[in-house]
Structure 1
């Protein structure tokens, strides 16, 4: 059997099957207003980025992920903290692409202090940290229940710690084993904070903490993280095939794990994705009793599915992963 080159694979990518979801795809009615906030963040806060990088980020419309992931939030005020986390997190990940594991942990710790209010002082300069300080102020203004906000912040911590751990593999251009990939990708997909934020919609704020802590619900949230992580890898694969250091991709991982071609690994990645989707649906349809909460929990899980579908819609609509449109890391350690 002839081995397919990366170039041949790239050329035939459009003909390969794609992820599909049985959930509706919608978007928040205030998404255009949210974009204006997002453009303002880039112009006023992201001065650390070059002008070229800032203009590319505007074209990516990263704030649309929040508008698609949580389309049932009551107002743009409720959307702002999630959009801030999403856009700032993604642009921050781009900017610090070349930083070390230890440097990312230092950044994570600083963000944690700002989000928790342990450091209540407003940063004196605009930028990444000022935006996270602003996230907390917006969260306080939109009546974010304290117990949900604490969950959200804890989940954000996990995302950034995942960013730190993947640096170990990026910096030495090494593909991780599958179990390590799955562990890290669950965090770096950035989805757990979204699972927490979906609870800000409708009447889900009333759901007791012990239900959110139930293993059944935790597993469904993990599946959301893996579904989005894998479909993101599938969409970004053409970019990551040709960039040294982009090793945290499920297709590359499976190719190494099973010693197969890129095309075979792609199909295997899609099969893994579809297995996770089937598990999600089985768990949704076989919930524990949850007493009087069962109907609301079923709807919450349905809205998690809408979140997954919405994020995928953004991934397939954005120019972020097209050749020439991604943002290279601009951070350099000058110490």
Structure 2
């Protein structure tokens, strides 16, 4: 993307198009500012692999606010910290390894998964992305996250890396995938499924039994959250991705390519897809299975899933730096493949 491009050219007449909206209130964790301060410190201490310009841009993005808005009812900063680590570190690693190959991303994902599961219990000697994921595990232990919830959280993070690897094929070819393939990949690369799993740490939801948290009805709701977040991220990032070669994993570009239609028409069709997912979410919330004594708690849990979607979108709409003209961090890793 050319850094000298004008704002008028950058936004390409897209600012007047309708935006997603959600029927859920907006909250933020009371310790969000303290979590931001820790985030600034992470960047200064851990991210020397990034250029100074990239580090300063990341500070402006307030990436830990995604966690603070996505799970605003966590009891303590200690409980917020693992999710904030995942949200911020996951986004920064996605930026840094933006142009690595599918094979390289698969190897990176395996390494990080070993650190998260404890299969590799050794603290990485160098600071940076791997060390932060090792710290995530330590923070989860410190806040006494139940092992069954942690395992689901880690499994969902592992799938994010799988999605990152699969999208590299379409980046390299500079072609959008078919819509059906996009939906499979975007469910994971939205990064939202780990939020859905971690949300069980809020309130009393950790009491919910496994057969409810893993019920097909609930898992479909998780999928819908992930797709809505992935799609509304596509809307926010569209101006940037229209001006960068290889940024093909965007629903608007996928729809435009698949149906051979103009960009504004593709945007409106993509918004319709998003809104249909929202309608399905609301319907599934209303028609929950008969979960007996857990029904009210499950109903509130699903309500908080909706609040999480709205919270992540609120971060996107409050952000004034990450997806703006010249604000995005370009990948600095040089692929060997």
Report the TM-score when normalising by structure 2.
0.96
Q: How far apart in 2 are the matches of 1:101 and 1:275? A: 32
Name the residue aligned to 2:250: 249
2:333 is the alignment partner of 1:331:
yes
Report the Cα distance in structure 2 between the residues aligned to 1:30 and 1:268, rounded to whole angstroms. 38
In angstroms, what is the RMSD of aligned CA positions?
1.1
The answer to whether the aligner puts 1:266 opposite 2:267 as a matched pair is yes
More displaced stretch, 67-76 vs 10-19: 10-19
CA contact (8 A) 1:211 1:217 kept: yes
Take 2:36 and 2:179, find their aligned partners in 1: how far apart are those partners? 37
Q: Is the CA contact (8 Å cut-off) linking 1:56 and 1:326 kept in structure 2?
A: yes
Task: Tell me if the contact between 1:9 and 1:262 (Cα under 8 Å) persists in the aligned partners.
Answer: no
Q: 1:46 corresponds to which residue?
A: 47
> 1:259, CA displacement in angstroms?
1.1
Shift of 1:198: 0.7
Q: CA deviation at 1:9?
A: 9.2
SS of structure 1 residue aligned to 2:329? coil
Give the Å deviation of 1:322.
Answer: 0.3
* Cα distance per residue 1:131-186 (max 9 Å; x no partner): 01100000000010000000000000000110000001101211100000000000
1:277 paired with 2:278, answer yes
Runs of 5+ in structure 1 lacking a partner?
1-6
Please state if 1:78 is matched with 2:84.
no
Q: CA deviation at 1:246?
A: 0.1
Contact 1:94 1:329 in 2 (8 A): yes
Give the length in aligned residue pairs: 329
Tell me which residue corresponds to 2:236: 235
1:57 touches 1:91 (CA, 8 Å); kept in 2?
yes
Aligned to 1:4: none
Which residue pairs with 1:137 in the alignment? 138
The question of 1:164 aligning with 2:169 is answered: no
Please give the alpha-carbon distance, in whole angstroms, between the structure 1 residues aligned to 2:224 and 2:150. Answer: 22
Distance in 2 (CA, whole Å) between partners of 1:108 and 1:39 is 25
Q: How do 1:1-335 and structure 2 match up within 5 A? A: 10-318=11-319, 319-333=321-335
Is the Cα–Cα contact under 8 Å of residues 67 and 83 in structure 2 kept in the other structure? yes
TM-score scaled to structure 1, two decimals? Answer: 0.97
Note the C-alpha offset of 1:333. 3.5
Tell me, what secondary structure is at the counterpart of 2:15?
Answer: helix
Give the 4+ runs in structure 1 shifted more than 2 A: 7-12
Cα offset for 1:95?
0.3
Distance in 1 between residues matched to 2:67 and 2:19, nearest whole Å: 22
Q: How far did 1:10 drift?
A: 3.1
After superposition, the Cα gap between the structure-2 partners of 1:113 and 1:257, relative to the gap in structure 1 and judged at 3 Å, is same
SS at match of 1:13: coil
Any gaps of 5 or more consecutive residues in structure 2?
Answer: 1-7
Cα distance in 2 for residues equivalent to 1:261 and 1:125: 48
Distance in 1 between residues matched to 2:132 and 2:261, nearest whole Å: 44
